[in-house]
Chain A
Amino acid sequence: MDVAVTINGTLYERDVEPRKLLIHFLRDDLDLTGSHIGCDTGNCGACSVIVDGKLVKSCMLLAVQANGSTVETVEGLAEGDELNALQQAFSDHHALQCGYCTPGMLMSATALLRTHPSPTDGQIRKALQGNICRCTGYWNIFEAVKAASR
């Protein structure tokens, strides 16, 4: 099926099998490998992207379901060669160790800070609920998101 998706401002048009998950379309067809596959069952959140302004797990969506959508991935966060404020906060607060979960964490935090620029501690925790990290114990991620909030 013909699928047209605008990803980080670029329009991509491809012929896609309906059975292909959005995460595989991003990684395998478009070589946008920033979004990671952790569990492939909708639990870990490493594949989180923003579709039409809504945070979703891209392993829980078919590419054909995203036809006509605007998608934001971790590749779109940096401002040129500069990390954006949230990414810099992750670096400053040591919010990543192996980094596998980081693309999903960043997208979840991005979605939160858009709707809640000054989130409460509880809102930060709830916003990161769908993202699993095996390294950090979450605390530094929480601190980074808090630092990036206003």
Chain B
Amino acid sequence: MLLREVDYAKPSSVAEALALLAGNDGARALAGGQTLLNVMKARAASPDMLVDLDGLDELKGVELSADGTLTIGAMTTYAEILDSAEARARPILGEVCAQIADVQVRNRGTIGGNLCSNDPTNHLPPLMAAIGARMTIAGARGERTVAAGEFFLGVYMTAAGPGELLTRITVPPGRHDGFAAVTLGVDGTCIVNAAASLDGSFRVAVGCVDAVPVVVEAESTGAVRAAVHGAGLDPPSDVHASREYRLHLAEVLAERAALQAEGRS
């Protein structure tokens, strides 16, 4: 398919990328392109300039610090997370990345692209919300780091605004995590998904039911369904699932994710 005409730049530093994004109103950051190029084909977005982040090695890779904290560069691909020995410190990361689409998409798609596109059906926004990840955003005024609740603002909208870049994701140590989804075909688009993390109590984040992941807390697995039920969800109906079915799935999947988290040794 022929895309609308677009300029292309491949900066060699984050500073240069930020200057390009800030200096061109129609500029968009291009990460792995596994969402953005399709969006451009559909003319749902028509940027005037693509700022390709692929040359920025400072945004790639997974680091594990002595206290177990993981720092993941925003341009790290799903496949790189799957293959990373360091990322296994928080096993759920690789387990969920292995469920995203297919080999080809996992080889190109990035954690930063998944989070910044913030499609409500994406896997990683609820996972990051459940495990307490923090997102670091660079802009003209320097860096700031925000929690998931402040990062995911709306459908396709995050705290990384125009002229800014998500640079890295910080994941605290932990192992008691779970993820469950009902998808369109194996590893397909999520109809509803849920991530859970047990750290004293459960934090469960449900995806696909609102513009941003819906986070609920529960003291035990037995209390998860009631907590989701009490969250007052109002998911949309579409060709794949009715509102009522999504409400049902939200409770079931939240409980499954919590049971998986609890079962982890």
How many residues on the B side are at the interface (Cβ–Cβ under 8 A)? 28
Q: Does B79 contact A (CB under 8 A)?
A: yes
Q: Does B3 contact A (CB under 8 A)?
A: yes
Q: List A120-147 residues whose CB lies under 8 Å from chain B.
A: 126-127, 129-131
Docked complex Cα distance between A50 and B4 (Å) = 26
Chain B proximity of A133: nearest CB distance (Å):
14
CB–CB A54/B37 < 8 A: no
Docked complex Cα distance between A111 and B79 (Å) = 13
Docked complex Cα distance between A59 and B10 (Å) = 20
| Chain B residues, Cβ within 8 Å of A24 | 2
CB–CB B6/A19 < 8 A: yes
CB–CB A42/B107 < 8 A: no
CB–CB B33/A61 < 8 A: yes
A127: which of B2, B30, B103 is its contact (CB, 8 Å)?
B103
Q: Does A36 contact B (CB under 8 A)?
A: no
Known: A55-B103, A56-B104, A130-B105. A65 touches B33 (CB 8 A): yes
Chain A proximity of B51: nearest CB distance (Å):
12
Q: Does A60 contact B (CB under 8 A)?
A: yes
A36-62 to B contact mask, C-beta < 8 Å, 1/0: 000011100100100000111101111
Q: Does B88 contact A (CB under 8 A)?
A: no
How many residues on the A side are at the interface (Cβ–Cβ under 8 A)? 30
Known: A42-B105, A54-B107, A55-B104. A60 touches B3 (CB 8 A): no
Q: Does B239 contact A (CB under 8 A)?
A: no
Docked complex Cα distance between A65 and B1 (Å) = 16
CB–CB B108/A56 < 8 A: yes
Q: Does A102 contact B (CB under 8 A)?
A: no
Q: Does A21 contact B (CB under 8 A)?
A: yes
B1-38 to A contact mask, C-beta < 8 Å, 1/0: 11111111010000000000000000000100110011
Q: List B170-204 residues whose CB lies under 8 Å from chain A.
A: 186-187
A56: which of B1, B6, B107 is its contact (CB, 8 Å)?
B107
CB–CB B2/A61 < 8 A: no
Q: Does B231 contact A (CB under 8 A)?
A: no
Docked complex Cα distance between A41 and B33 (Å) = 12
Closest partner residue, chain A, to B79 (CB atom) = A54
CB–CB B103/A41 < 8 A: no
| Chain A residues, Cβ within 8 Å of B105 | 42, 57, 60, 130
CB–CB B8/A57 < 8 A: no
| Chain B residues, Cβ within 8 Å of A130 | 101-105
A48: which of B4, B104, B186 is its contact (CB, 8 Å)?
B104
A12-34 to B contact mask, C-beta < 8 Å, 1/0: 00000111110010000000000
CB–CB B186/A129 < 8 A: yes
B87-104 to A contact mask, C-beta < 8 Å, 1/0: 000000000000001111
Closest partner residue, chain B, to A112 (CB atom) = B103
Chain B proximity of A52: nearest CB distance (Å):
10
CB–CB A62/B103 < 8 A: no
Task: Please list 24 pairs of residues, one from A and one from B, whose beta carbons are closer than 8 Å in the complex, sorted by A's number.
Answer: A18-B7, A19-B2, A19-B5, A20-B2, A20-B3, A41-B38, A41-B41, A54-B79, A56-B104, A56-B107, A59-B37, A60-B105, A61-B33, A61-B37, A64-B8, A64-B10, A65-B30, A65-B33, A65-B54, A108-B104, A111-B103, A126-B103, A129-B103, A130-B101
Interface residues of A (CB under 8 A from B): 1, 17-21, 24, 40-42, 45, 48, 54-57, 59-62, 64-65, 108, 111-112, 126-127, 129-131
